[in-house]
Structure 1
Amino acid sequence: METPIERIRLSQTAKEQLIKLKRITKIDQWNILCRWAFCRSLAEPTPPSPLPIPQDSNVEMSWRVFGGEISDILLLALKQRCHNDNLGTDTETLVTQFRLHLHRGIGYLAGDPNIKKIEDLIELATKN
């Protein structure tokens, strides 16, 4: 599936939050933590606030690296979420919403005092 999102660059704040999550969960790959964060944000019923997000860190990855084997599924989830939020699915909207969801999710995971190990991520994903 063709993706409108070519490259992903994180903010310095998100990078620092991911470093904390790497230390806590022992998940070493940025992309895996980013997938968790993206899905965490998609699970929220409200859309993310449209805040400007700087791209001021040195953490950058392609969409294929971010999504891995499930990149098509993640893109479909993003498109469905945009549709559900009454937003368009044009390239600009998808890129913007992806960045907002990714950064919101990273903040949620890093700020969750209940996440102390990888099992806590699994518990978070499987409750309810």
Structure 2
Amino acid sequence: MHYSKLKISSDATSKLRSLRQRTGITPNLLCRMAIMISLEEGPLGGAAIPDEDGSEFNAYTLTGEYGALIAALLRWVEEGHLGDEQLDDETLLDRLRGHIHRGVGTLAVRAKSPADLLRLVPMAA
């Protein structure tokens, strides 16, 4: 999955602004958390693809040194652990935006303070 820039939804952008004010965590780190939370929930299935009217992230800013790991996890969740269905890059990027959108929505509900973000991390981590 190759990309240099990724635009997220306007709704996710708005929620990220609010989360940043409440938690002090930068949007790119919040997006990383959102991706992991959403991937944990499973594939997006037939969910609508979110708009691209929000913030734009450079690939490295969004995923940092974990770009390959996030791409592999995305493929594993969306294609199935057996890899029966091969998704093209465009579809995977749509799904990545979808996971950011879904995960940010979850974070917006669960995280009212920095301490709330810590509660989302398993103790074994």
In structure 2, relative to structure 1, the CA distance for the partners of 1:53 and 1:122 (3 Å cut) is same
Give the C-alpha shift of residue 118 in structure 1: 2.0
Match of 1:69 among 59, 65, 75: 65
Q: 2: distance between equivalents of 1:38 and 1:61?
A: 14
Number of corresponding residues = 122
Match of 2:42 among 45, 63, 69: 45
Tell whether the 8 Å contact from 1:48 to 1:100 is kept in structure 2 after alignment.
no
Per-residue deviation, residues 9-48 of structure 1 (Å, max 9, x unmatched):
1222111100111011111x22111101111100103535
5+ residue gaps, structure 1, are none
In structure 2, relative to structure 1, the CA distance for the partners of 1:111 and 1:53 (3 Å cut) is same
**Structure 1 residue 33 corresponds to structure 2 residue 14:** no
SS of structure 1 residue aligned to 2:48: coil
Runs of 4+ in 1 over 3 A off after TM superposition: none
Tell whether the 8 Å contact from 2:43 to 2:77 is kept in structure 1 after alignment.
no
RMSD: 2.1
What pairs up with 1:16-31 in 2 under 5 angstroms? 16-27=14-25, 29-31=26-28
5+ residue gaps, structure 2, are none
Shifted more, 84-93 versus 10-19: the winner is 84-93
Instruction: Give identity over the alignment, percent.
Output: 29
In structure 2, relative to structure 1, the CA distance for the partners of 1:106 and 1:35 (3 Å cut) is same
Q: 2: distance between equivalents of 1:61 and 1:91?
A: 17
